[in-house]
Amino acid sequence: MPALDEKVRVSLRDRPLQFLKNHPKLKDRLRPLMEAAGFGTTDWVREVMYRECFHYIRNLDPSQLDVLEISGGPQWRRNFDFKTYTETQFPDFDICAETLGRQFDLIIADQVFEHLPWPVRAAAPWWLFRHCDAVLVARA
């Protein structure tokens, strides 16, 4: 049997992964089984980022934190029991121009800033001081 062309092999390998990405509820249901079989469900380029972010947040005592997340993802609520957790969705909530009328101990902007037309505005000190007493965790 002739060897498969590299593009065909990559396509066959990536189809199941793409299917799961397109069906996040199924991926969440299969996650424990996949991880038990040694198949990580986190994109490989984010493995170190999440490991380091989770370690950092654990050291902040998450049960005492009022948290705002811009474009919330399930990994934060799945891994932490925050005191309060407020989720917004980009682009419905414009981090560059809007406020929520309260302060937070931690703001998580996971994979958000690279999509903003003006990321510096979102991270500018004037914005942070209006929203947050402590920390911004932003990863791109």
What rounded mean pLDDT belongs to the chain? 75
Q: Smallest Cα–Cα separation from 20: which of 6, 5, 40, 3?
A: 40
Give mean pLDDT, residues 30-56: 77
Are the C-beta atoms of 134 and 105 separated by less than 8 Å? Answer: yes
Tokens 């189809």 label which residue? 15
Domain residue ranges of the chain, discontinuous segments joined by +: 6-36, 61-139
Are the C-beta atoms of 132 and 105 separated by less than 8 Å? Answer: yes
pLDDT single digits (tens) 15-27 = 776 777 787 788 7
pLDDT single digits (tens) 47-90 = 788 888 899 999 999 999 999 888 777 888 888 999 999 998 86
Q: Say how far apart CA 10 and CA 80 lie, in whole Å.
A: 35
Task: Tell which wins on pLDDT, 86 or 114.
Answer: 86
Tokens 């402590």 label which residue? 134
Instruction: Please tell me the predicted confidence (pLDDT) of residue 126.
Output: 47
Instruction: Please tell me the predicted confidence (pLDDT) of residue 82.
Output: 96
CB burial readout 109-134, b (16+ within 10 A) else e: bbbbbeebeebeebbeeebbeebbee
Percent with pLDDT over 70 in the chain = 70
Q: Say how far apart CA 44 and CA 83 lie, in whole Å.
A: 30
